[in-house]
Amino acid sequence: MSKLRFADAGEAADLCGFLTRLLHYDRAAAVRLQGAGRALAVYGSPASFDVLAVRAVRLAEPAESLDVTVSAGELLESVDEDAAEAVVPSAVTGPAWAGLLPPRGGWQAEGALPGEALRGLVAAAVAEFRRRVEEIPPEARTRAALDSTGRQIWSRTVDGTGLPVRAVHAAQSLGFLHPGPGPQILSCGSWLRLRTPYGSVAVRRAGRLGGLGVGVA
């Protein structure tokens, strides 16, 4: 097993926060790790959001050859925040999304959005979902009915961007929408990406992740 040595304890803590949030949505979550110099890209797909999330972590030593899919839970357990290091767990059979990563380069800026407005958008969507669920008679409040209501709300796009609201919801749920510089929207081919200083969320413009063919890793 190889070791990851983070730039400092703060980087280790940030990674733990990201992994904890992923595991909140799926206790069996996996993450794909890709090294690039003294940076580590950690990819995950929080259950029910149909997005790809990525958290960049600064390293004290290069990890150029690292490219592996591992258990998010095992990686979290291996992190020693005080020592700012972690053991890379054994590889696992990757979920379908792990072979559909967005490209590393070629992104074009599509504009910036106020973080406060995006947080307000998510709050309004959550409130609408709860209200509409409460309006459904108890005997008809099935999983299918809840899923249908959710899709109607979260598949809407942010005005003039094509970015689905579910991507913004995922960014907030994963801790990417802290106050600070406005999030940017980037595009590359069929991909759209919401980038903040704390992480990114990427989506394909057409179709859901589970229905895609082989993409560019």
Last residue of a domain, one of 74, 99, 124: 99
- Please give the mean pLDDT across all residues of the chain: 89
Same structural domain for residues 202 and 160? Answer: yes
Same structural domain for residues 47 and 81? Answer: yes
Strands annotated E in 120-198: 184-188, 191-196
Contact 21, 174 (CB under 8 A): yes
Q: Torsion angle of alpha carbons 152, 29, 23, 120, nearest 10°?
A: -30
Helices (H) and strands (E) counted in the chain, each on its own, are: 5, 10
- Taking only the tens of pLDDT, the chain with its 217 residues reads 589 999 999 999 999 999 999 999 999 999 999 998 999 999 999 988 889 999 999 999 998 789 999 999 999 999 999 999 999 999 999 899 999 899 988 999 988 888 888 999 999 999 999 999 999 999 999 999 999 999 999 999 998 788 999 999 999 999 998 877 789 999 999 999 999 999 999 999 754 444 332 222 2
Q: Look up the domain containing 45 and give its range.
A: 3-99
Q: Total domain count for the chain?
A: 2
Last residue of a domain, one of 37, 69, 99: 99
Here the CATH number for the domain that contains residue 95 is: 3.10.150
Percent of the chain with pLDDT over 90: 72
Q: How confident is the model at residue 206, as a pLDDT?
A: 59
Q: How confident is the model at residue 217, as a pLDDT?
A: 25
Domain membership flag for residue 20: yes
Last residue of a domain, one of 59, 76, 99: 99
Distance CA 205, CA 162 (A): 7
Looking up tokens 């560019």, which residue turns up?
216
Same structural domain for residues 115 and 93? Answer: no
Distance CA 197, CA 181 (A): 7
pTM as predicted: 0.87
